[in-house]
Structures are given as structure tokens and as C-alpha cells.
A and B are shown apart, each in its own frame.
Chain A
Amino acid sequence: MKKYFSFLITFYILFFPVLVQAETLKKVYMVLWDGCEDACRGFQDYLKAERVDAEIVLRDAKKRPSKIPEFIDEAKKMKPDLLVTWGSYVTLEMLGTERNELLSKYIRSIPALFMVVSQPVESGLVSALVSQGRNITGVTHLVPLIEQLQYARQVIPYKRMGIIYNLAETNAAVTVEQIKKYASLMGFEVLDRPVPTDKEMQPDPTTIEGLVADLAEKNTDLIYLGPDAFMNMYRDALTDAATAAGIPVFSASEGAVRNGEALFAFVHRYYNIGQMAGQKAVKILNEQMPAYDIPIEAPQRALLVVNMTAARNLNVYPPLPLIQGADLINIPDELD
């Protein structure tokens, strides 16, 4: 008996910290679309820096939509303290829109945090960025359009902005309408050119060059490459024609600047998006704040990314005061 008691006491002393930790250890279920990239790393680094006792269960869809229902089932069974989703597609598939959130196929009972969702209101995920009405919060990654237009004015004082877009894409059409609204306030002219469709009613990429030539004829100062999947797929056709015509291209995303010939973009880096999502996660996990009380935001400071090779080809350079905070990429090998 004495032996039995001493064994129990030793066991308790040895495993007490483990038992306590198991009670305080939070569970975070994180669903990714295409591997753990910068935003995912930023999120994990933040939790580590804040010493949050959390176990992060990573699930990667590897770009396969069929994986999402599996993750929904697993999350429902696991009942984590927080569900984190990456990107618009994963978020909408896991949580549904505000209208259809009550459908049983979506997750409702777990506080959710999204990151890298460009338009949470427009996509129907939430009805507002503050007091969102659902137990969801998150971090958007696009710099607001009005800010993009204002920043762009500091780089190039444009009076005529051209936009070539796919009319069939809601995002692109909405963006053009918004730009037109802001144009009257900011005092510039918008020359919008929808891409004509072919016989199969699909947008015809061969017409892009002609549209750029038309914009050049109208003395366009700048072309905007917005959140438009079709135009981003054919961005090289756009930027090549624009460079040939001497018109700079201003992009809403970094990809067209980094991997293409677009001149500049104002963006938020994914690592910072992840870190900001981490900050919100700490509020939910450690401070017990409900997700619906945490506003959906984007980082405060936008980063100017400039393609210096495109700048040299166009002989258009950003003004000196903007250079210090900017990320100047694709620097030519030979400098003047």
C-alpha cells in the first residue's frame, strides 16, 4: 500500500506540469490552399514570439478543392479553439457566405480567422469590416483602391488613366466602376476598355495590343492592372504593348511587378498579413475576445514595389522621397 501511494505521488509530481499544460494548450486548426508560405510563417512566428501555448494543426489543400470537405469534417470533430483559413476560396468553402452560413456543411461554432482575402465584404463573407455579425475576423491583403490611386499620383502625376479589363469578371467590373467614382473626386479621366470577346464569347487576348495602342493614341499617362484574373493571365501582352507605347503599368498586385513588366504596385507583404492575423489570434486565444468584436483590417503602411528594369525601359523613375521606404526590385545588372 505504502509502495502504491509513493508511486502515485511520484507520478503526480513528474506529470503535473504536463497535465496543466494539456489543459491550457490551445488548438489552432489552419487550412492552407497551397502550402505554408509567407503569411502562414508570419502567423506561426507571431504566436511563437508571443509565447502562445498553442498547437497548430496545419492542413494543406494543395490546390485541390476536394480536400476542403475532409477538413471541415475533421475540424468539426476536433473542435479547435480557433480556425484559421488562407485565401478567399478556402475561407468561403469552409465558412460559407453570411447568407448561407447556417447550412450544415459549413463551420459555424468555431471562432474563425481568415487571412489573404482580398474583398471580404464584396465576396459576401461578411456584411461589414467592423461589427461583422459573424464570429469571424481576419486580415485583408489589398491596399484600398482610393489609397492606391492617391499613392500612384505621387509616383506619376497622371491625368488620364487607362484600364483594360474583362467585363465578365465581377471583381474587375466593380473595380472599374469604383475608379470612375474616385476619378471625379480626384480630377482625372478614366479610359476604360473592356476586352472584346471571340466567337465563343470568351475574352480575346489578341486584342490587348490594339487596345493599348488606342490608349496610347488618347495620351494615356498610366494603365491600371486591377484584380482581374484574365488580365493577370495575359499581363505580359499588356505590359509589353504598354512599354512599347511608353505607358507605365500600375498593378494592384505584386506578381505583375516582380515577375512581369509592370512598373509599380502598392502592396502589403504576406508575412506581415500573417503577423497581423497572429495578433488577432492572440486576442482570441489569450484574451478570450470573441472574433466578432475584432475588426477586419489590412496593415496600416503600404509598401511601394518598383520594377527598376521596367523603369529603365520606360525612363520613368519614382521620385526620391518615395525611394527610401520602397522595395526596388529587378535592378538592372549594369547601372548608369
Chain B
Amino acid sequence: MRSLSLTHVLLSALLWCAAVMAFVGMNFTAFETASRDLQDSRLEMALMDLQRVFQGEMDKGSQLPHLKRVEASFSHYMAGDDDVLSVLVFDARSGRILFSTVGTQIGINVPYEWREKCRTLGSVFIEKTPKKETTGIPLFNTFNENEGCLVAEHKTMATQITHDQMRKTAFSATIRLSLFGIFACAVIYIFIHFKEASFMPKRSLYKAMVLLLCLLFIGIAVPRTVSSMLLSFEEDLKPNVAAKAQVITRIVQHQIEKAVNSGIPYSSMNGVEAYLERIRNKNPEVLFILLTDKTGRVLYEAGSAARAFDSDPRTGKISLRPGYYNVAEPVNLQDVSVGWVQIGVNERFVREKVF
């Protein structure tokens, strides 16, 4: 200990700061990537579901310009999504907008680049400008000829705000964590080199006490700061998680309603669990998907819902645990509710992936 020089202390402090920056940077990247993935996959999921609806109708022998009735599906997926500026379909041959959630867009021609980019089977085209992002997927007829393109225009402001908030959180956490390390190094150095000022009679006990106190301080302050940083990241991510959960719920609801309104009894559908499980596997944040009847009795289940709920042994009341988010939409049979689609989301999915 006596050989502890200022250089050693400075080096230790620098190493600590580097480790802090790497750690915070890793977390920031993970959360920032998750935020972008949630935004992109949310739009892609909704667009792909709409693509299936349009292509399904074309397979039945309808022409794309005559699919006005499918336009109603736009609002089903996009309602309440403030980020979406418009959803539209344009004709591949002429580039003319056939349907749009913004009435004034109908009839005008899209930029030529959109027509060029939205041609390849199985592709997704993305165009970014400072204020908005455009995502499009092509629509193919039954003999794989490009008939049109389904496009969603959305604001990038929300993504930018989330990004800025996360950057602020990461910056403040880096400063705090670095200061803790620098402070601990400084304390150790000062107390060991200026032992005359010490009130402790025994040197060894005194050293041990200083070290212990520093470790105790680091042991308490660092996890608290890390935890608050992760909570803050998760708070920033919440709107994206919620919006995507809403889209998934509506996709499932739409599918189930089509089945029950076509005569398939809600309580005896085939292949439901496999369908739900496939959705769950594609979306790591989804913890469970439940289909319940009107009374809340679970009929079909994918994933484990038990992990997300706490039950009070005295009252039997069930409540959602912190860190989990639940979205529910009714399943209607001719406008009468027969049950619910419930999706549980693990808000800590990024944290669990990182650690």
C-alpha cells in the first residue's frame, strides 16, 4: 500500500472511466438498437399483414384498384399511432396513389424512385429524410407480377426524441459512475498517504477500514446508478413497446375475428397455439399471448403468463408485476364480444438480453 503512487491512482481512475464508458455504451447501443427495431418491426408487421390482406383479395380474383373495401384495414392497424403520417397504396404501372389515409393524396403520382425501389418480391424499401421515414412493400398478384406498393410514411421525430433522451441518460450515468470511481481512488490515495491525519491508532485496521468503506460506497452507489440508468432507458423505450404490442394485438384480433365471423367456433379453433407461438418467437419482447373467453378463462395460450402476474393469497386478486405491460383487445362476433386477445410484454427484455 505504501508503494501506491499517484500514477497508480490516476491509471486506476482512467481504467475505471474506460470500463464505465464501455459498459454504458454497450447498454446504450442495446437499448437504442431495440428502440429502432421496435419502430421498424412494428411498421413492417402492420404492412405485411396488410400485404397479405391485399394479396389474398387479389388471389380471389379482384383487381388492386377495386379493393377500396380493404382500405378500412388501414385504420384498424394505424389508429392511435401518432407517428404514422399516412398509409397509401399506389399503382405499380402508373405510380398513381389509389388509396390513402390522407384523402388529398389520392390520384397524385408518387416519386419515380418509389416505383423503382418497390418492385422486388420479398423486399422492403426504406427511404429516410430528416423529418420522415417511408417504408414500402410491394404487392404482387397471383402470377408474381408487381401490381402496386403499400407504403407507410411516419415521423422520425419520436425516434429522434427517444434517441436524445437515451443519450442524455447515458451521458449522465457515465459521469456519475466515473465520479464514483475517481472519488474512491482519491479517498484511498489521500487516506493512505496522509496517515498522520488519521485518528485511527492501528495502521492495518485503519487501511482495512478505508478500503472497506470505499468498497461499500462503490457497492451501493454503482448498482443503484446502473439500475436507475436501465430503468430510465426502459422508460424511454416504453412508448415503442406499447405501440408495437398494440399492433400485434390488432393483427391477432383481426385474424381471430375473421375466423369466428366465418363460422369457426371460438372455443374450438385449430392451430391457434402454433400461430401465437410463431408470433411470440418473432418478437422477443412478447412474454405471452392469451385468448380468453368473456369471463377471462384462458382458451389458448402461448408463452407463460404466470411470470407476469402476482396474486394476493388473501383476496385472490391478480395484479401485473412491475416491468410487465399488458394490452387487451376484444374479439367480436358480429359486434358482440366473445372474448379477449391479451398480450403481455416484458419491458425488461433488453436488460435480460444484455445480461
Residues in chain A within 8 A of chain B (CB atoms): 38, 42, 45, 49-50, 268-272, 275-276, 279, 297, 299-301, 303, 308-309, 311-312, 315, 317-328, 331-332, 335-336
Contacts of A50 in B (CB 8 A): 93
Does A38 contact B144, Cβ atoms closer than 8 Å? no
Given A318-B270, A320-B269 in contact, is the A328-B142 Cβ separation under 8 Å?
Answer: no
Q: Which residues of chain B have C-beta atoms less than 8 A from A49's C-beta?
A: 63, 93
Query: Interface readout for B113-140 with A: 1 if CB under 8 Å, 0 if not?
Result: 0000000000000000000000000000
Which residue of A is nearest B144, CB measured? A300
Seed contacts A279-B145, A319-B274, A320-B272; 7 additional CB < 8 Å A-B pairs: A42-B61, A297-B143, A317-B264, A317-B269, A320-B270, A324-B56, A332-B263
Q: Which of B88-121 contact A (CB under 8 A)?
A: 93
- Chain B residue nearest to A299 (CB atoms) is B142
A46 and B56 alpha carbons, distance in the complex (Å): 19
Q: When the two chains form their complex, are residues A327 and B271 in contact, meaning their CB atoms are under 8 A apart?
A: no
Asked if residues B258 and A324 are in contact (CB atoms below 8 Å), the reply is yes
CB contacts (< 8 Å) of A327 on chain B: these are: 60
Residues A272 and B142 in contact, CB atoms below 8 Å apart: yes
Give min CB distance, A37 to chain B, whole Å.
11
Interface presence of B307 (CB below 8 A): no
CB under 8 Å from chain A, chain B span 147-202 = none
Measured between beta carbons, the chain A residues less than 8 angstroms from B61 are: 38, 42, 269-272
Contact B258–A323 (Cβ < 8 Å): yes
Name the A residues within 8 Å of B93 (CB-CB). 49-50
Q: Please, which residue of chain B has its CB at the minimum distance from the CB of A274?
A: B61
In angstroms, Cα B62 to Cα A331, docked, is 20
Find A321's partner among B53, B62, B262, B271 (CB 8 Å cutoff): B271
Is the CB of B232 closer than 8 A to any CB of chain A?
Answer: no
A130 to chain B, nearest CB (A): 16
Q: Could you say which residues of chain B place their CB within 8 Å of the CB of A309?
A: 263
Q: Which residues of A lie under 8 Å from residue B272 when comparing CB positions? A: 320
Which residues of A lie under 8 Å from residue B264 when comparing CB positions?
Answer: 308, 311, 317, 323
- Pairwise interchain contact B275-A276, C-beta atoms closer than 8 A: no
Q: Which residues of B contact A319 (CB under 8 A)?
A: 270-271, 274-275
CA distance A335 to B285 in the complex (A): 35
Contact A321 B143 (CB under 8 A): no
Residues of A within 8 A of B266 (CB): 336
Binary contact track B29-70/A, C-beta < 8 Å → 1, others 0: 000000000000000000000001101101111110000000
- A-side contacts of B265, CB under 8 Å: 317, 336
Q: CA of A138 to CA of B86 in the docked complex: distance in angstroms?
A: 41
* Minimal beta-carbon separation of A315 from chain B (angstroms): 8
Does chain A have a CB within 8 A of B211?
no
Residues of the B chain whose Cβ atoms lie less than 8 Å from the Cβ of A317 = 264-265, 268-270
Contact call B142/A335, Cβ cutoff below 8 A: no
Output the least CB separation between A302 and chain B (Å): 8
Residue in A268, A323, A332 with the greatest tally of chain B CB atoms within 10 Å: A323
Candidates A272, A322, A326; contact of B141 at CB < 8 Å? A272
A327 to B61, CA, bound (A): 11
The 10 closest A-B pairs by CB, nearest first: A319-B271, A271-B61, A269-B61, A299-B142, A328-B262, A308-B263, A319-B270, A325-B56, A336-B265, A276-B143
Q: Are B144 and A321 in contact (CB under 8 A)?
A: no
Knowing A279-B145, A299-B143, A301-B142 touch, does A320 contact B255 (C-beta < 8 A)? Answer: yes
Q: Restricting to B262-289, which residues have a CB under 8 Å from any CB of A?
A: 262-266, 268-272, 274-275, 278
Chain B minimum-CB-distance residue to A50: B93
Residues in B neighbouring A311, C-beta threshold 8 A? 263-264
A326 to B52, CA, bound (A): 11
By the criterion CB–CB under 8 Å, are B271 and A335 in contact? no
Evaluate contact between A325 and B55: CB separation under 8 angstroms: yes
Query: In this complex, what residue of B is CB-closest to A304?
Result: B59
A300 contact from B142, B269, B333, Cβ within 8 A: B142
Residues on A with C-beta less than 8 A from B319 are none
Distance A297 CA – B269 CA, assembled complex (angstroms): 36
**Which residue on chain A has the smallest CB distance to residue B66?**
A45
A–B pairs, 5, beta carbons within 8 Å? A315-B268, A317-B264, A317-B269, A323-B262, A335-B260
Instruction: Please tell me which one of the listed residues A276, A297, A301, A318 contacts residue B59 in the complex, with CB atoms under 8 A apart.
Output: A301
Residues of B within 8 A of A300 (CB): 142-144
The docked-state distance in angstroms from the alpha carbon of A323 to that of B266 is: 14
Residue of A nearest to B53 (CB): A324
| B333 and A335 within 8 A (CB) | yes
Query: A320 to B143, Cβ gap below 8 A?
Result: no
In the complex the two chains form, what is the Cα distance from A56 to B62 in whole Å? 22
Distance in angstroms from A91 CB to nearest chain B CB is: 20
Measured between alpha carbons, how far is A275 from B63 in the docked complex, in Å? 10
CB-nearest residue of chain A relative to B260? Answer: A335
Q: Given the known A-B contacts A308-B263, A317-B268, A320-B255, are A279 and B60 also in contact in the complex, defined by CB atoms under 8 Å?
A: no
Q: Enumerate chain A residues within 8 angstroms of B228, measured Cβ to Cβ.
A: none
B263 near A335 (CB under 8 angstroms)?
yes
- On chain B, the residues within 8 Å of A270 by CB distance are 61
With A272-B59, A323-B258, A325-B55 known as contacts, the answer to whether A335 contacts B334 (CB < 8 A) is yes
Whether A269 contacts B59 in the complex (CB less than 8 A), given A279-B143, A323-B258, comes out as yes
Residue of A nearest to B91 (CB): A49
For B60, give its contact among A269, A323, A331 (CB under 8 Å): A269
Alpha-carbon gap, A149 to B95, bound state (A): 40
The answer to whether the Cβ of B261 comes within 8 Å of any Cβ in the partner chain is yes
With A272-B61, A324-B52, A325-B55 already in contact, the answer to whether A312 and B263 are too (CB < 8 A) is yes
* Complex: A297 Cα to B145 Cα, angstroms: 14
A323, B256: Cα distance in complex, Å: 9
Q: How far is the CA of A3 from the CA of B56 in the complex (A)?
A: 64
B259 CB-CB contact with A under 8 Å = yes
Distance to closest chain A CB from B247 (angstroms) = 16
Shortest beta-carbon distance from B232 to chain A in Å? 40
CB nearest to A38 among chain B residues: B61
